[in-house]
Amino acid sequence: MNRISWDQYFMAQSHLLALRSTCTRLTVGATIVRDKRIIAGGYNGSIAGGTHCNEEGCYVIDNHCIRTVHAEMNALLQCAKFGVPTQGAEIYVTHYPCLQCCKSIIQGGIKAVYYALDYKNHPYAIELFAQAGVKVEQVELDEMVIDLNTQEKLAFVGSLLEELKDKGADDDKLRSLHEQANKLFTSYL
């Protein structure tokens, strides 16, 4: 089995962090990394001890939930709280950072932003990242990286194909299904 890339490893961590989000509109996770080591993580949610969106709904003003602290901010604040410098670090985020998070990332000295999904990419955030010399790169998560059941899925699909063969399925159809299964699974093994 091949090891996953560093980008996939850190992006998977961000997606895992997003599972802790209490926002009902969008779940976001962020991982701050220096020298291939995770130094902080965050997800979007309410202040510690506060009311969460998944409990009472989002508190929306001007189409923004003002109850939540964004994932990037939570990760940066975790570094500040524990005295961990962010100068020269990188951040992996499940979604493109909003304008306010963009400014905080720049002020925190983060040198690179890796994000999985476009999300209202603000033109001024794009401009500010470029102006500050922050590398911004899309790194979509390969979901199979964190799929712990890949082998079982392969075996199941294989057994289905065998059953179809035993029941007299057309060879061309079986070959086509086998090729589709290979496309879905073989690049992950």
Catalytic positions: 72
> Pick from 21, 25, 10, 23: which is nearest to 43 by CA?
21
Dihedral angle over CA of 93, 97, 102, 107, nearest 10: -20
CA dihedral (158, 163, 164, 168) positive or negative: positive
> SS3 for 36?
coil
Buried b / exposed e across 29-47, counting CB within 10 Å, b at 16+? bbbbbbeeeebbbbbbbbe
Provide CB contacts within 8 A for 78, sequence distance 6+: 40, 41, 42, 84
| Whole-number Å distance between alpha carbons of 91 and 16 | 15
Token pair, residue 109, equals 């000295």
